[in-house]
Structure 1
Amino acid sequence: MPDCATAVLSPSVPVHPFARAASDLVVVVERRQDFRWPDPDGRVMTAGAYVATRPARPRRVINLCRHADYLSAGYYASLLAEARGDRVTPALRTLADLVEAGAGPGAGQADLADSLADLNPRLVHLPPPPAGVARHAANIYFGRTPDVGLTDVAARLFQRLDCPLMRLTLAYGEGAWRIAGVALLGTDAVPRMHDVFFLNALETYARRRWQRPRGPAAASFTLAVLHDPADPLPPSKASTLAHMARVGADLGVRVEVIGRRDYRHLARFDGLFIRETTAVPHHTFRFARKAEALGIPVVDDATSILRCTNKVFLAETLAGHGVATPRTRLVTRATVAEVGSALAFPAVLKVPDGAFSRGVERVMDIDAFHRVAADLLARSQIILAQDYLPTAFDWRVGLLGGEVLFVAQYYMCPRHWQIVRHAADGSHDEGATRAVAVADTPPAVLAAATAAARLMGNGLYGVDLKQLPSGEVVVIEVNDNPNLDVGAEDRAAGPLLWRRVIGHFLTAAGRAPMPGSTAVSAADLPVGSLPAPEHAALARAAAVRAAVA
């Protein structure tokens, strides 16, 4: 590939000193020795140092950690940057996409290549490879590459993916080159012959004004509901989905339950409602990303999954915006002794991605703290320690599109300190659920829940809160994919809840929603058109919206 050969770099090429970068810029690496280049202004810091410090104002963050897989140092660098309001490259969504695509042949790799296929025509000028060669790899540093034939594609890839260091792989077949893959690149993979080029690319990027990456525009009704019948703790039971299908039929919407094998057929649906327990390295996240790429309205969206499934992000975001929470500390291997000595017992330790009371442990003394912390830190680089706040029940406020959808009280499992008690044999017990009318919910609970959910996005959230004997309300966490079941969460809201869920998808798809299927206020409805409790609930919800606006 003579037109795509690596450019010869001369030591005489001027190197712009990294010290001239903007004063709010920091570069995060896993280990200090991973950045072998000069850093006269001390802008380079380790991921551990970045986690431990939180300046008063947002910064620009370049995440160059060599490991970016789920719950790694690189993953947390981007996650915490987003939680703190720092402007970070790469964004967490980019990391998730590229890590999945780099895990080997599979849906993630194929999806990434498909999403970049529109760039393949920009490779037509490249000559065929020598005999016996069918692939070519090129390093890309901040949208620039030493491979002179790929300058345009490198710039467009960086604009699309916003990843500072990438390796582009091209494949040749049927007389043409195509993009076969893009992978994250660590600083250790930058060859020394590229040092000058790399530093100049970094300096050029550091001087430019911040721009959000441009992605494919979302656009876009049969409603697909992703469900796993084998899930022992599904967010919605099969009977609930059947009820939802009947409500949908009344609104002119076909509700079709699908499974993970329907991934390739997602394009034939007009909306996607994920009713499986979500996670990032999981097919539910791939479904969300695929729906967004297709322009299909999706709940839960990928950003909500990324944010809500990690309690470290939640803790940083809620604290950074003044939302009251139990006293929370981030625990790493380096800080475990310091945190342990400052805790009051009993205390609670949490792994960041636990769900349904899993990965959450109560420790009664310092010995138990060290034992449990060691176990949890083997699963994640960071865990959380929180004050233990016992109450008979947790408030759960469900919100959709920024509006209160339902309120419930989740009671602790009998003779247990959590809502769900898991047995060693895989069985589980749950505490009772009591639905509460919005009109009967303390305004402080509704206001705190609305404020917390607003920080996560505009999707479907279940905010868990405790009201302490003092009357203070604290947010425990914000869940994407909250439970919604007939006879439980909907007992107070009634049919209006399901019409609003379906109406949310119709509105997001640009369809005119059926009457009664959108979030309405009491003033929108004639007197007597709804039962008095539902009319009062709508009036209270409108008052809460005005109070927290």
Structure 2
Amino acid sequence: MKNSRNLIVVDDLRDWQPDWKNYPVISADEYVADDAYSSAGYRIINLCRHDHKLSMGYYTSLLAEARGHRAMPTARTLQSLMSKRIYEAQLEELNDAVRRSLSRIIQEDFSLSVYFGQNLAASHAKLAQTLFTIFPCPLFKVQFIYRDDGWEIGSLRPMGLGQVPKGHLFKVKEAIDGFLSKRWRTERDRQTGGNYDLAILHNPSEKHPPSNARALKNFIRAGEEVGLDVELITKSDLPRLLEFDALFIRETTSLDDHTYRFATKAEREGMVVIDDADSIRRCCNKVYMHELLRKNRIAMPRTEIVSAKNIDRVAADASYPLVLKIPDSAFSLGVFKVSSEVEFLAKAAELLEDSDLVLAQEFLPTDFDWRVGVLDRKPLYVCRYFMSKDHWQIYNHARKDEDRMGEFDTMAVEDAPTDVIDTALRAANLIGDGLYGVDLKQRDGKCYVIEINDNPNIDAGVEDELLGHELYERVMRSFLDRIERSKQRDDVAPGSED
């Protein structure tokens, strides 16, 4: 086969017009389930619907990324299109194009459909191409609203092939032909340099923050010792973000809130960021994690992706008990143990109301879980977290007393089992070179990765029990090194832009 093969993915094969050119077209269900499409070399044209954050369209692009495929759109683009706060920050360059294109529109709202950078009306061709350059999504619709001071974007939504009006399909076909006849272009982020100011994003009201108050103070002191001016900021400080040269997110991350917006804005401005937006996106979804680990042959509990179409089959074939997981769950929330087929069907059906896919995972009972902290592709700390009293998880959210969380044991990296460290590094290095926490279980002489966290706990009195202040210094020195490397890159090519 060729090194690069186009593959068009649609929600329903009936959406693909029978008289169109014979491109390779498959359904999203087939792409998700068939191992034949897990090999490298594919270029995925994702024409699926994306009506909500955990749609099949989103999973298609997310799995493409895990499989090493080039996807249009990327999961990151879809995430941006679903968040007005994210895409608004990228629209400044559109002002002139919008004003020229819509100058003769007399109504107060106007919708523009963009098909691979094209529109039915020649008068809007430049605007459509500009939108496609900023948001490389095959099919999407933009609603413009006229305010007192001019036109602005009211909404920007991706479309599936089945949502395109029949009268527009000829244009979609023309646009697909034109797009596939050209070479794909790769997005690159603009990078600029910086000095020595670090912002730590935290939430003073968070119940289970990744770093407690004492740990945050330790980070500030360690930063000052290595030459960084460190300041704690909160979500209200987004307008001030560009005052800093680096961002350290010490707040539970999510694709749906300000933490992801902070990461994307900081990266777009060339700042050093931990957690970076790609790490947040990859680690926040367990479907992506499952596919990534499977693709790279890293052991994990037996796992099956559950959808509305296969729920009965999976329930009938499963060995109980097993664990059901919402793909974007965090801190043991959204994770449920079911002990029978009846429980499985009831809980899975409930979870599928909010997500097109759910994970069903083998239950591996152990007395404790390993957590390996990884920074710059090297082990930073190792902890064993023991299960909460009379519970199957480390944290029992149903309890309010001191037994809601199990005990812990922090040890030297060199004293931890070699296979635990090696497996954790292999897993974390698939995500990037940031700060990660890899959760693992050991059972019957084998090591299994449970998940990779982009925002691992570093609490005073727990993860720092062995290294003490040195743990915080290592993290701060990593920021310093990253800032200085970024500055050196700028010095090589001053004023250049990608």
Compute the TM-score of the two structures, normalised by the length of structure 1.
Answer: 0.81
How far 1:298 sits from its partner (Å)? 1.4
Q: Of 5, 8, 11, which aligns to 1:27?
A: 8
> 1:18-167 alignment to 2 at 5 Å?
24-36=5-17, 38-39=19-20, 41=22, 43-55=24-36, 56-58=38-40, 59-101=42-84, 108=85, 111-122=86-97, 126=101, 128-129=103-104, 132-133=106-107, 136-167=110-141
How far 1:484 sits from its partner (Å)? 0.4
How far 1:442 sits from its partner (Å)? 1.4
Would the alpha carbon gap of residues 37 and 272 (structure 1) be closer, same or farther in structure 2, given more than 3 Å must change? Answer: farther
Please list the CA deviations of residues 360-388 of structure 1 after superposition, one character each: whole Å capped at 9, or x if unmatched: 12222322222222222223211111221
SS in 2 for 1:326: coil
Q: Of 300, 312, 315, which aligns to 1:325?
A: 300
CA–CA separation in structure 1 for the residues paired with 2:364 and 2:305: 18
Other-structure match for 1:546: none
> 1:78-477 alignment to 2 at 5 Å?
78-101=61-84, 108=85, 111-122=86-97, 126=101, 128-129=103-104, 132-133=106-107, 136-169=110-143, 182-217=156-191, 219-220=193-194, 221-423=196-398, 429-469=404-444, 471-477=445-451
CA–CA separation in structure 1 for the residues paired with 2:4 and 2:215: 54
Q: Is the contact between residue 44 and residue 64 of structure 2 (CA under 8 Å) also seen in structure 1?
A: yes
How far 1:142 sits from its partner (Å)? 1.0
Q: Is the contact between residue 120 and residue 179 of structure 1 (CA under 8 Å) also seen in structure 2?
A: no
How far 1:199 sits from its partner (Å)? 0.6
CA–CA separation in structure 2 for the residues paired with 1:53 and 1:126: 44
Q: Is the contact between residue 189 and residue 267 of structure 2 (CA under 8 Å) also seen in structure 1?
A: no
Would the alpha carbon gap of residues 358 and 171 (structure 1) be closer, same or farther in structure 2, given more than 3 Å must change? Answer: closer
SS in 2 for 1:340: helix
Aligned residue-pair number = 483
Structure 1 unaligned regions, length at least 5: 1-20, 102-107, 514-549
Tell me whether 1:507 sits opposite 2:490 in the alignment: no
Q: Is the contact between residue 8 and residue 23 of structure 2 (CA under 8 Å) also seen in structure 1?
A: no
How far 1:415 sits from its partner (Å)? 1.4
SS in 2 for 1:510: helix
**Alpha-carbon RMSD:** 2.8
Please list the CA deviations of residues 26-55 of structure 1 after superposition, one character each: whole Å capped at 9, or x if unmatched: 222233344446356473333222222122
CA–CA separation in structure 2 for the residues paired with 1:340 and 1:54: 21
Please list the CA deviations of residues 77-109 of structure 1 after superposition, one character each: whole Å capped at 9, or x if unmatched: 1111111222111101111110112xxxxxx1x
Q: Is the contact between residue 218 and residue 469 of structure 2 (CA under 8 Å) also seen in structure 1?
A: no
CA–CA separation in structure 2 for the residues paired with 1:127 and 1:414: 64
The share of aligned pairs that are identical, in percent, is 40
Structure 2 unaligned regions, length at least 5: 488-498
Other-structure match for 1:547: none
How far 1:394 sits from its partner (Å)? 0.9
Q: Is the contact between residue 277 and residue 481 of structure 1 (CA under 8 Å) also seen in structure 2?
A: yes
Larger radius of gyration: 1
SS in 2 for 1:239: helix
Higher deviation after alignment, 401-410 or 362-371: 362-371
Would the alpha carbon gap of residues 189 and 338 (structure 1) be closer, same or farther in structure 2, given more than 3 Å must change? Answer: closer
CA–CA separation in structure 1 for the residues paired with 2:6 and 2:459: 47
Would the alpha carbon gap of residues 179 and 420 (structure 1) be closer, same or farther in structure 2, given more than 3 Å must change? Answer: closer
CA–CA separation in structure 1 for the residues paired with 2:51 and 2:60: 9
How far 1:422 sits from its partner (Å)? 1.0
**Partner amino acid, structure 2, of 1:52:** A
CA–CA separation in structure 2 for the residues paired with 1:289 and 1:125: 29
Q: Is the contact between residue 394 and residue 466 of structure 1 (CA under 8 Å) also seen in structure 2?
A: yes
Q: Is the contact between residue 410 and residue 432 of structure 1 (CA under 8 Å) also seen in structure 2?
A: yes
